[in-house]
Chains A and B, each alone.
Chain A
Amino acid sequence: MPIKKVVDSNIFIYSLLKDHPAHADCTKFLIDNEGPNVLFSLVECFDEIYRILHTFYRIDPSTIVEKITGLKNSTVEFWGFNTEKITDALKLVSETKVDIVDAKLYFLAMDIQAPIIITDDARFQNFIKSRGLLFETPISEATRRKMQEWEKHNIPAAGLPRILSRVYRYLLKKGANIANQFKADTKGFSALLDE
């Protein structure tokens, strides 16, 4: 009887992005664990996959839908979350500040008796550990170093720097002068404009 594993959406996202540094590790993990009754996730993860691939990585919606349809028809079991359990998940969110989808993944693992949750989200990993379950990430240390390097070069830090960088790139289309002025005024995307 294979060990059941619950998979977080970040693993699917990295696997779907061909040029992402974590693509190979995550894809290998999923393919190596392919089979009936092994990999489980939630239909809510389809929403997360769509939202992140579309709003962050700028992937065309039809391409995302095609991949999600493939996943729906794969051996990965995507479960719905029933209405009775939603209050338990919300209670857990209010008590622990865990993300709502992560809370649902945790309850899924409990319900199907899966001892391992596969995720690369450090906050979720801490939560899983605190609840006595195991977590695993398919991303090796070498790949993680490559990811950090890749993110440093390609993606500004989350929050203000990332938002202001996007505004800068938009302004670049209007003209280099205005864009560079914006960059200087925001102290290299680290501060809001002075009044």
Chain B
Amino acid sequence: MVMVIKLDKQGRILLPKEIRDRYHFKPEMELSVIEKEDGIELRLAGKKISLKEIFEPGIKFKPEDVLALDIANLDEDLEGLL
């Protein structure tokens, strides 16, 4: 969805109510303004998940499963090997 909003004289913007409601934005809530290649992005400035929390437990896998053939999804399965 694309919405057009205007900057006021002080450079402020008012997020439409529909957006505030959908993303549960409340007064005083902090948002991150992130510069992107093609514009800016607004995100809730929530707590970031640490990389240690993601990678150190890791995902266990069995090397023998790498060679297991998924006959029900053969096309996708063989494509993954190429």
Q: Which residues of A contact B (CB under 8 A)?
A: 15-20, 23, 26-27, 30-31, 34, 51-59, 63-64, 67, 70-71, 73-77, 79-82, 84-85, 108, 111-112, 150, 153-156, 158-159, 162-163, 165-167, 169-170
Number of interface residues of B (CB under 8 A): 35
When A19-B61, A30-B55, A56-B66 are in contact, do A170 and B71 touch as well, CB less than 8 Å? yes
Could you tell me the dominant secondary structure of chain A's interface residues? helix
Residue of A nearest to B71 (CB): A170
Q: Return B49 CB to nearest CB of chain A, in Å.
A: 5
Report the tally of A-B residue pairs with Cβ distances under 8 A: 123
Contact indicator B81/A17 (Cβ below 8 Å): no
Contacts A18-B60, A56-B80, A84-B38 known; list 10 others, CB within 8 Å. A16-B58, A16-B59, A18-B58, A30-B51, A31-B56, A75-B48, A75-B51, A76-B51, A77-B34, A169-B69
* B52 beta carbon closer than 8 Å to chain A: yes
The distance in angstroms between the C-alpha atoms of A8 and B15, with both chains bound, is: 35
Contact indicator A63/B37 (Cβ below 8 Å): no
* B21 beta carbon closer than 8 Å to chain A: no
The distance in angstroms between the C-alpha atoms of A18 and B58, with both chains bound, is: 4
* B63 beta carbon closer than 8 Å to chain A: yes
B37's partner among A17, A55, A82 (CB-CB below 8 A) is A82
Contact indicator B36/A80 (Cβ below 8 Å): yes
Contact indicator A156/B61 (Cβ below 8 Å): no
Contact indicator A154/B63 (Cβ below 8 Å): yes
The distance in angstroms between the C-alpha atoms of A187 and B43, with both chains bound, is: 57
